[in-house]
Chains A and B, each alone.
Chain A
Amino acid sequence: MTVVPIIKRDYVLKLAEQGKRLDGRSFDEFRKIEIETGVVNKAEGSARVKIGNTQVLVGIKMGIGEPFPDTPDTGVLSTAAEFIPLASPDFESGPPRENAIELARVVDRGVRESQVVQIDKLCIIPKEKVWLVFIDIHILDYDGNLFDAASLAALAALSTATVPVKRFASDLPEDYAKEDYPLPMTEPPISCTAVKINDYVFFDPSLDEEEIADVRLTVATDNKGDIRAMQKGLSGSFTKEEIQKVIKGALDNGQEIRKQLSASTGK
């Protein structure tokens, strides 16, 4: 594990006192975001998102299977994240550790609870056959703020995914649609993450900032200005005022990012 020099934290705080960040951004500014969809042919939907140097690739694969017994006529959604050793000198190969699991579950909740994917429209034969949607998050380059990059990539991939009717034609009933159709979606909430170092709150933390952060807060907001998901991480604490600040920053940045997402997915 690479050790972070103590003087780095001191320097970041010294800059923060003057209202500056290491890379010259303002406290609530995001790095440049790039969204590219349809990057993996084999996947039913895919997207590659870059936030600064952080790069995440999400692929959507679909299949047909049995529904959960307590939801017999809705599709099944499942999210997994791989912190592959490719992305950082500190990532080790092996089954997902707690960071990867936390990330997968946060992205999953963001998609599931907000009903972004209309899984009630993914029923084929009630109690027997439903569509399965697999969201696989592949971290390619880790330079801070995986939560937002992964969420955004998942949304972009889902927004451009198609249900592979033709490929599964032999498993579908006679009266089912015959052509591939877009995965039924609703307006997605956008997640924005901030970290706190001493009393300073920075949005879209770079790797340097994440490494010395005391606490982290991710807030997902929708196009109506409501809060749809929240996750606090690391062992520090937030005051109520600070949380309000993060919510406001998440709403502002969320709006901008939503515009960009819409432009790149055409939805």
Chain B
Amino acid sequence: MAHEGRQIVIPTQVLGDTATCKAGRGTFVERGKIYAERLGILNVQGNIINVIALKGRYDPVVNDFVIGIVEEAATSNWMVDINAPYPALLHVHEVPWEIEFGDTEKYLNTGDAILAKVLSVDESKKLQITLNDRNLFKIKGGHIIEVESSIVPRIIGKSGSMIDLIKKYTRCRIFVGQNGRIWIDGDAEGIEKVLQAINKIESEAITFGLTARMEELLKKDAKDVR
């Protein structure tokens, strides 16, 4: 069949046994059997069995690029919503500006969007993020949307192949946060095309041959390609 899907597994499905395989991500072991722990796609690398989650909250990992929305400005930090089960803390020392005491609101306030990086995650999942990096900034203009964090890898593609394809044909700046938030900046038509492309990826994420079909879709009414 031309467009086969990948294999979907559900929790408690037996995927293998520890005698011949290793339990990877998204699995748990009980009495020598490897089980899927959540709804996802089976992914076998050598003899390691992984399950890539199809749905579920973003689980922050250190160094992940994330798009956050500032919830509140406190005296020496900000609380930022990064679409994880917990809000993240951004400390005044982790931003590229010199902040006078109590002036946090002047730089970032409720509703501001930022492209940040996950700095630390402790055992009780307390999160810290940072803006201290050339690539990180406060977001101005453009549009932000949210997708399931589990399809972010498909939106980026192998070595960025998918996202580069979309950028090429729509001429938009696009930042994809690992936390499922995406920032798009460009002219209205371009943004519209990006949204269409992302919609397509969302509904066809588990199929093969998506990159090729995406190129077809984008080529269709592209004016000129840079």
A and B touch in the complex (CB under 8 A): yes
Q: How far is the CA of A226 from the CA of B20 in the complex (A)?
A: 76
Tell me how far the C-beta of B59 lies from the nearest C-beta in chain A, rounded to whole angstroms. 18
Q: Is B112 an interface residue (CB 8 A)?
A: yes
Tell me how far the C-beta of A90 lies from the nearest C-beta in chain B, rounded to whole angstroms. 13
Q: How far is the CA of A10 from the CA of B71 in the complex (A)?
A: 18
Cβ-defined partner of B70 (8 Å) among A2, A3, A15:
A3
Q: Are B188 and A20 in contact (CB under 8 A)?
A: yes
Q: Are A3 and B111 in contact (CB under 8 A)?
A: yes
Q: Which residues of A sit under 8 angstroms from B140, Cβ to Cβ? A: 7
Q: Which residues of A sit under 8 angstroms from B143, Cβ to Cβ? A: 7-8, 11
Number of interface residues of B (CB under 8 A): 15
Q: Which residues 1-17 of A have a CB within 8 angstroms of B?
A: 2-8, 10-11, 14-15
Q: Which residues of A sit under 8 angstroms from B113, Cβ to Cβ? A: 5-7
Give per-residue flags for A102-114: 1 if the beta carbon is below 8 A from chain B beta carbons, else 0: 0000000000000
Number of interface residues of A (CB under 8 A): 13
Give per-residue flags for A9-46: 1 if the beta carbon is below 8 A from chain B beta carbons, else 0: 01100110010100000000000000000000000000
Q: A14-B188, A15-B188, A20-B188 are in contact. Are A2 and B81 (CB under 8 A)?
A: yes
Tell me how far the C-beta of A163 lies from the nearest C-beta in chain B, rounded to whole angstroms. 46
Q: Is B165 an interface residue (CB 8 A)?
A: no
A-B CB pair tally, cutoff 8 Å: 33
Q: How far is the CA of A261 from the CA of B175 in the complex (A)?
A: 44
Tell me how far the C-beta of A132 lies from the nearest C-beta in chain B, rounded to whole angstroms. 44
Q: Which residues of B sit under 8 angstroms from A8, Cβ to Cβ? A: 143-144
Q: How far is the CA of A6 from the CA of B142 in the complex (A)?
A: 11
Closest to B140 in A: A7
Q: How far is the CA of A10 from the CA of B113 in the complex (A)?
A: 12
Q: Are B188 and A3 in contact (CB under 8 A)?
A: no
4 closest A-B pairs by beta carbon, nearest first, are: A6-B111, A11-B143, A5-B113, A5-B69
24 contacts between A and B (CB under 8 A): A3-B69, A3-B71, A3-B81, A3-B110, A3-B111, A4-B111, A5-B69, A5-B111, A5-B113, A5-B144, A6-B112, A6-B113, A7-B113, A7-B142, A7-B143, A7-B144, A8-B143, A8-B144, A10-B141, A11-B142, A14-B188, A15-B188, A18-B188, A20-B188
Q: Which B residues are within 8 Å of any A CB, using their own CB?
A: 69-71, 81, 110-113, 139-144, 188
Apart from the given pairs A3-B71, A18-B188, 17 other A-B contacts in the complex at a CB distance below 8 Å: A3-B69, A3-B70, A3-B110, A3-B111, A4-B111, A5-B69, A5-B113, A5-B144, A6-B113, A7-B113, A7-B140, A7-B141, A7-B142, A8-B143, A8-B144, A11-B142, A15-B188
